[in-house]
Amino acid sequence: MSEQPENTPAQAAGASYAAAGVDIEAGDRAVELFAPLAKKATRPEVRGGLGGFAGLFALGNYEKPLLAASSDGVGTKLAVAQAMDKHDTIGRDLVAMCVDDLVVCGAEPLFLQDYIAIGKVVPEHVASIVSGIAAGCEEAGCALLGGETAEHPGVMEPNEYDVSATSVGVVEEANLLGPDRVRPGDVVIAMASSGLHSNGYSLARHVLLDTKKLPLDGHIDSLGRTLGEELLEPTRIYALDCLKLASECDVHTFAHITGGGLAANLARVIPEGLVAELERSSWTPGPIFRLIQEEGQVSQEEMEKTFNMGVGMVAVVAEDDAERAMAMLTARHIDAWRLGEVRPAEDGKSGAVLSGEYRTPVQG
């Protein structure tokens, strides 16, 4: 019988997933921590529980249901959260970016599934991220139906992570909103944003952090708080407000103002032959937009195609219902105002155009 070579220490220990950098036990512990949070973000239609291979959801009774789906992330806002080591709000941004796309066509968000890719699973860290996702789902009235956390050692640094999600909603075919409902004379109603939301952070970070070297923990008088607190202000979730508005007013469509800015996103729901004429003098962009523009000497054109400029969602409503719609939004604590009107496109160019100058900020 031939003599076997002695095992080296590495051979004796044997290769393992943990040695490769993936901690399954930490992942299990993370699930234990966030499971109670996820269970709170539910709906009666959810079947089964956490831990299955797929989430189950009973669609319910509809005549001609249309399913709507939206997938998104939160972009480089993550870099701010990671720099501040604050992770409990980014999940609300994730939910907002998904569900507020669904309601544009009148779809009610039903459920959301998230995906977290992270360099190293620290259970409390992951639970903090999921706590924000669960809170956002509760605010949007949808269930957190499941998700996935993937540890990526060697690909991402231990403290790095990225998040994405897919949300699914439903709308009766007869209630579908969109460009085909928009008519001349319709009123465009703006709903105020809570700040930058989750778009334009590459430019904002380039100007404020990389170029001007402003500290995230430094107080900014014009903002009334630290720069980091302003940049991590969660994206407003309009889903339930929009659904309520559509159920009681003659809403023809919505537009979620994200990357590309106000005019470009509103143009997506304006049909051929019509134009939405918007008046800048109807509102004053918040101080964070002025700070970025002044510190970076950013042109107005660049600002308007990068940021929401203070308008997070737009409703296109029949003229007869415009005042009622604004009153409803105000009662729901949404700052809303008449932004413009829909007119025939005289030059044949459809879409949305901004005119005039922004209202001057009131000096306190």
* Tens of pLDDT, residues 18-47: 655 666 666 666 666 667 777 778 888 888
- Judge if 167 and 202 occupy the same domain: no
Q: What share of the chain is helix, strand, coil (3-state, %, to 5)?
A: 35, 25, 40
Does 14 fall in a domain? no
- Judge if 204 and 106 occupy the same domain: no
Q: Which residue(s) pair with 156 in the sheet?
A: 153
- Judge if 151 and 221 occupy the same domain: no
- Judge if 225 and 305 occupy the same domain: yes
Q: What is the pLDDT of residue 14?
A: 65
**Pseudo-torsion of CA 215, 294, 291, 79, nearest 10°?**
-50
Mean pLDDT of the chain: 90
Assess contact for 221 and 80: CB atoms under 8 A: no
Domain count of the chain? 2
Query: Is the predicted pLDDT of residue 17 greater than 70, yes or no?
Result: no
Q: What is the pLDDT of residue 48?
A: 75
In the predicted model, what is the mean pLDDT of residues 132-143? 96
Last residue of a domain, one of 148, 175, 202: 175
**Pseudo-torsion of CA 357, 200, 314, 176, nearest 10°?**
150
Q: Which residue(s) pair with 267 in the sheet?
A: none
DSSP state of 332: T
Does 4 fall in a domain? no
- Judge if 211 and 84 occupy the same domain: no
Tens digits of per-residue pLDDT, 158-197? 889 999 999 999 999 999 999 999 999 999 999 999 999 9
Identify the domain containing residue 341 by its residue range.
179-355
Higher pLDDT pick, 27 / 66: 66
Q: Could you tell me the strand order of the sheet in which 143-151 lies?
A: 65-73, 161-172, 108-118, 143-151
- Judge if 262 and 133 occupy the same domain: no
Write the CATH number for 110: 3.30.1330.10
Among 7-16, 156-165, 323-332, 334-343, where is mean pLDDT lowest? 7-16
Does 15 fall in a domain? no
Q: What is the pLDDT of residue 13?
A: 53
Query: Is the predicted pLDDT of residue 361 greater than 60, yes or no?
Result: yes
